[in-house]
Structure 1
Amino acid sequence: MDAQRTETSRSESPSPKDDMKPPYLADVEPQPESSYIGNAAVIDHEAERALCRKFDFRLLPVLAIMYLFNALDKGNLGNAKTAHLERDLGFERNQYNIILSVFYVPYVLFAPPLGLLGKKYGPNKVLPLMMFSFGSMTVLVVTVQNFAGMMALRWFLGMSESAFFPLVIYYLTTFYRRGELARRLAIFYAASNIANAFSGLLSYAVFRINHTSLEPWRFLFLIEGLLTVLFAVFTFFYLPQSAAEARFLNEEEKKLAFHRIQTDSSSKVNEKLDVKDSLKVFKHPSAWCFLAIEICLGVPLQSVNLFLPQIINRLGYDTVKTNLYTVAPNVTGAVMLLILAFSSDFTRRRGPFIVLGFLFTFIGMIIYATIDVLHQKHIAYFATFMMCWGTSAPSVLLSTWYNNNTPHEGRRVLLTSIGVPMANVMGLVSSNIFTPASAPKYIPALATTAAFGATGALIAGLLSAYMVFDNNRRDRKLGRKLDIKEVPTEMLRDGPSVPEFRWFL
């Protein structure tokens, strides 16, 4: 490592001594400066495994519960609809679809600024504040008496949830190496599937409440909202600001945590936010390809999240059984997400597994749209499993993919704060293709969803192939194969414009 970079790294480290080399660097073999500077490879396997275990036990369960409540508060309208929410609030014609759609306008508009604020003030404080806000909006649904009141609350709910998932992704990139991220993010994101399953079970229990002045669906919002608010208060005081400042680490562990992120995640740890510099991420065509895949992902993802109860209801079940039968597809979706994410980290490949996820959804939708579901219920119900298999995994792996390829922290959080909402805003498409006029078969909606899935698989496959080609081109220019582990991310601030840059496939 050259003198200037060594001095910079030392000045930013939590509390290293200038004349002492940390134990985890003791056996690092020096590399020729003409080849690369530093080393991003694992240095002390046992020390890193112990550090990751601490992060896993201290952070992932809390973040997973936070996202579980986020998913509950976002997706409970589908359950409430089966319990006559429309009738009780006097909705007319397509007003239910309108309240679904209005959520996505502030969700997209406020995600980039709130994401950048989260980068500036720290996700550990901004995330709990957002959680407290959307939990409060959910509680207030209990007081709603008409369409206008629900519209207002859905607007503020969309605003308060807008940058939640992007900030969690960014937050995790400040604790884990690039090759460790997908499976951790999958464990966190699996909470979304578990939330949908839990929501089905909770709805099954709550909707059996009778003989009260409060409609059963109001109890559902009240319970979920209050639990969200209470947990938000806890997380505000619990989450650490960064890996190098976590109170549960000793000094040597803090130094190791800083070194890991500096060499295999960020070009500069805790870099001060510069909005103008962050916008440079869109100079690279790959950023636009990632956003195009997010758009294609959004329709299948939102169609399943918002309308799975209605899709299953077509099989002829009553309200209680319909909500109960949403549990198994969502649980197997979480399992498939973990299988694909662990496989992705093991092989250090993202693109192929994203393509596979898209194909699951495509096949599931095509099966459901082309068979007689009332006479082939078992096949139709299996198709709903495939729909859930193919929506969660691409979302996690895609976010991981472009975070792995964006070492600059500001650019990373900005791209994520635009990309994730782009997928979610496609709920506008989903909520307007699953119309009452096409019920109960929803053939146009299923066909449209399948088409988006096929297009997403095609773009992801082409982008993955380009990355392989470009890595080989760069290696030929260098004269040898350069392993991605050889180049620390502190060298890669400007992304693909740096000769040493190699795509994380």
Structure 2
Amino acid sequence: MSAIKTDTGSDEERFDKAGYEVNQEPESESGVGNSEPAYVVDHGAERALCRKFDYRLLPVLALMYLFNALDKGNLGNAKTDGMEKDLHFKSNQYNIILSVFYVPYVLFAPPIAMLGKRFGPARVLPILMACFGSMTLLTVAATNFAGMMTLRWFLGMSESAFFPLVIYYLTTFYRRGELARRLAIFYAASNIANAFSGLLAYGVFHITNTRLYPWRYLFLIEGSLTFLFAIFAFLYLPKSAVNARFLNDKEKALAYHRIQVDSSSVVNEQFNLKESLKIFRQPVTYAFLAIEVCLGVPLQSVSLFLPQIVARLGYSTVKTNLYTVAPNISGAVMLLILAFSSDYTRRRGPFIALGFTFTFIGMLIYATIDVINQKHVAYFATFMMCWGTSAPSVLLSTWYNNNTPHEGRRVVLTSVGVPLANVMGLVSSNIFTPGSAPKYIPALATTAAFGAVGAVLAASLSLFMVLDNKRRDRKLGRKLDIREVPTELLRDGPSVPEFRWFL
């Protein structure tokens, strides 16, 4: 590959097909050879290209994820309006339909993600969206526990690989240092979805004199909009930067160059299962997965049970749903603050640890105070809960994607890691039991403990990466900036001497 410069010349051989100058350099001290560093000299062109991606891709992907989060998390709102009574649930059957979602969610994520890599996320993502929109719409016709459980099974199957494929899709457009804030903007849709769901529930639950129970309108509206938007997304999303109709030839070449030198070792590499599974030979993979486990319990506890947590403050059903809006919005804001700070400092681990700490403190406060007599403090604690769940999820996914130049391994790790965090909803849905309502002290304490362990693991892994980078620099004889090494040379990860951890 060639370095990209802004000046011009008459020698035809000095330029690539898009008109950018080829910079032939001698072998560097690092032993990297004459391959170029991950710098792009024409920053103006690069910023303009990123803006095009931001305007054309992020709004559509964010709306897709908003509908994904709505369709997955609307049971909590429906429960507050008497769904259990209307469908004649017994004992802990509500917890069972929450739990059954995660079984296919974990089982089907890797194979569907691999299909997404094979056929392209731009086509597979809208198909998955149409499927989970259909399951949500069919919930309107559910009349009993068996029907709801069946629909939740297929909902889990269709949503399983959605987030991993979106992450992979974005890594084919953005460089490593640009990814966190873009992924945060996309993921903020989840918080906004939870807030919007509360507002929608607030409005829908005022519906009277109708043949349908008010909670059914949640599923009717959300499912219909999801399915319609999936059709639009299928027609709109480009398969890759090379196929993007909104880019000219010069911009397509620049887009390819950026990913080749600072994201993927081989751009649009053909998927090879045997080669991709080698990611599990790297010990650090298991550290990332352990952090995903610790992340999953706080993430799912807040996502699934925030309405029940807020209900302990003694508000009416309508007000309870309304009061979930502000904490979720503040969570989206904190997510953006931490993600932008992470990209600016090119550090992931410290901000992940900070997010876990927010969760730990929020849960601890809520579990130890008299929430009725200290409503303002308790309500503030729900804000901290939301601060500490969204940011670690985004930054953790970004962290291990940044450290995995091989596209196939990246897809496999993400398709295991993200569902692993979500399957911890099995823990969340079984610690928030009817018997511990309305205080849910055991559930809050358990969630706080997972937050504390997650903070320690993230900080420890970050420290290991710092020390290992220094060890590698000592062996080389000088400090090597990760931006000096193109990702095309880092296909085999930490086994390559030039590899440096993205902290």
Instruction: Please give the TM-score of this superposition, normalised by the length of structure 2.
Output: 0.96
Question: What is the CA deviation profile of residues 167-214 of structure 1, one whole-angstrom value per residue up to 9, with x for unaligned ones?
Answer: 000000000000000000000000000000000000000000001110
Instruction: Identify the residue that residue 311 of structure 2 maps to in structure 1.
Output: 313
Of residues 11, 17, 21, the one that matches 2:16 is 21
**CA positional deviation for 1:243:** 1.4
Instruction: Identify the residue that residue 228 of structure 1 maps to in structure 2.
Output: 226
**CA positional deviation for 1:21:** 3.0
Of residues 15, 18, 25, the one that matches 1:30 is 25
| Alignment size in residue pairs | 491
1:97-246 equivalence runs, <5 A: 97-246=95-244
Structure 2's unaligned 5+ residue stretches are: 3-11
Instruction: Identify the residue that residue 342 of structure 1 maps to in structure 2.
Output: 340
Distance 2:452 2:204 in 1: 38
Question: What is the CA deviation profile of residues 221-273 of structure 1, one whole-angstrom value per residue up to 9, with x for unaligned ones?
Answer: 00000000000000001000011221110000000000000000000001000
Q: Contact 1:68/1:191 (CA < 8 Å) preserved in 2?
A: yes
Question: What is the CA deviation profile of residues 44-93 of structure 1, one whole-angstrom value per residue up to 9, with x for unaligned ones?
Answer: 10000000000000000000000000000000000000000000000000
Q: Contact 2:360/2:451 (CA < 8 Å) preserved in 1?
A: yes
Q: Contact 2:16/2:22 (CA < 8 Å) preserved in 1?
A: no
Q: Give 1:26's aligned amino acid.
A: E
Identity, % of aligned positions: 77
Of residues 397, 418, 421, the one that matches 1:420 is 418
Distance 2:96 2:22 in 1: 61
Question: What is the CA deviation profile of residues 123-145 of structure 1, one whole-angstrom value per residue up to 9, with x for unaligned ones?
Answer: 00000000000000000000000
Instruction: Identify the residue that residue 359 of structure 1 maps to in structure 2.
Output: 357
Of residues 324, 329, 332, the one that matches 2:330 is 332
Question: Which SS does the other structure have where 1:225 is aligned?
Answer: helix
Q: Contact 2:18/2:253 (CA < 8 Å) preserved in 1?
A: no
Of residues 387, 391, 395, the one that matches 2:385 is 387
Q: Contact 2:14/2:22 (CA < 8 Å) preserved in 1?
A: no
Distance 1:356 1:29 in 2: 44
Instruction: Identify the residue that residue 465 of structure 2 maps to in structure 1.
Output: 467
Q: Contact 2:14/2:23 (CA < 8 Å) preserved in 1?
A: no
Question: What is the CA deviation profile of residues 78-111 of structure 1, one whole-angstrom value per residue up to 9, with x for unaligned ones?
Answer: 0000000000000000000000000000000000
Q: Contact 2:296/2:422 (CA < 8 Å) preserved in 1?
A: yes
Question: Which SS does the other structure have where 2:390 is aligned?
Answer: helix
Distance 2:72 2:129 in 1: 12
Q: Contact 1:24/1:44 (CA < 8 Å) preserved in 2?
A: no
Q: Contact 1:24/1:43 (CA < 8 Å) preserved in 2?
A: no
Instruction: Identify the residue that residue 404 of structure 2 maps to in structure 1.
Output: 406
Distance 1:78 1:397 in 2: 26
Q: Contact 2:192/2:329 (CA < 8 Å) preserved in 1?
A: yes
Question: Which SS does the other structure have where 1:248 is aligned?
Answer: coil
Q: Contact 1:24/1:256 (CA < 8 Å) preserved in 2?
A: no
Instruction: Identify the residue that residue 249 of structure 1 maps to in structure 2.
Output: 247
Determine whether 1:79 maps to 2:74.
no
Determine whether 1:45 maps to 2:29.
no
Determine whether 1:370 maps to 2:368.
yes
Distance 2:134 2:398 in 1: 30
Distance 1:232 1:328 in 2: 28
Instruction: Identify the residue that residue 13 of structure 1 maps to in structure 2.
Output: none
Distance 1:504 1:20 in 2: 31
Q: Contact 1:28/1:43 (CA < 8 Å) preserved in 2?
A: no
Distance 1:406 1:289 in 2: 14
Distance 2:464 2:14 in 1: 45
Distance 1:30 1:388 in 2: 49
Question: Which SS does the other structure have where 2:387 is aligned?
Answer: helix
**CA positional deviation for 1:367:** 0.2
Q: Give 1:302's aligned amino acid.
A: Q
Question: Which SS does the other structure have where 2:306 is aligned?
Answer: helix
Question: Which SS does the other structure have where 1:158 is aligned?
Answer: helix
**CA positional deviation for 1:42:** 2.7
Q: Give 1:491's aligned amino acid.
A: L
Instruction: Identify the residue that residue 11 of structure 1 maps to in structure 2.
Output: none
Of residues 272, 275, 281, the one that matches 1:274 is 272
Distance 2:336 2:207 in 1: 35
Q: Give 2:59's aligned amino acid.
A: P
Distance 1:145 1:74 in 2: 19
C-alpha spacing 1:470/1:214, structure 2 compared with 1 (3 Å):
same
Q: Give 2:294's aligned amino acid.
A: C
Of residues 473, 476, 479, the one that matches 1:481 is 479
Q: Which moved more, 1:36-45 or 1:113-122?
A: 36-45
**CA positional deviation for 1:492:** 0.4
Question: Which SS does the other structure have where 2:74 is aligned?
Answer: helix
Distance 2:298 2:38 in 1: 37
Instruction: Identify the residue that residue 53 of structure 2 maps to in structure 1.
Output: 55
Instruction: Identify the residue that residue 320 of structure 2 maps to in structure 1.
Output: 322
Distance 2:318 2:460 in 1: 44
**CA positional deviation for 1:425:** 0.1
Distance 1:191 1:223 in 2: 18
C-alpha spacing 1:31/1:340, structure 2 compared with 1 (3 Å):
farther
**CA positional deviation for 1:502:** 0.2
Q: Contact 2:287/2:461 (CA < 8 Å) preserved in 1?
A: yes
C-alpha spacing 1:27/1:276, structure 2 compared with 1 (3 Å):
closer
Q: Give 1:60's aligned amino acid.
A: L
Instruction: Identify the residue that residue 14 of structure 1 maps to in structure 2.
Output: none
Q: Give 2:405's aligned amino acid.
A: P
Question: What is the CA deviation profile of residues 272-309 of structure 1, one whole-angstrom value per residue up to 9, with x for unaligned ones?
Answer: 00001000001101111000000000000000000000
Distance 1:323 1:378 in 2: 17
Q: Give 2:361's aligned amino acid.
A: I
Distance 2:242 2:50 in 1: 13
Distance 2:356 2:46 in 1: 34
**CA positional deviation for 1:408:** 0.2
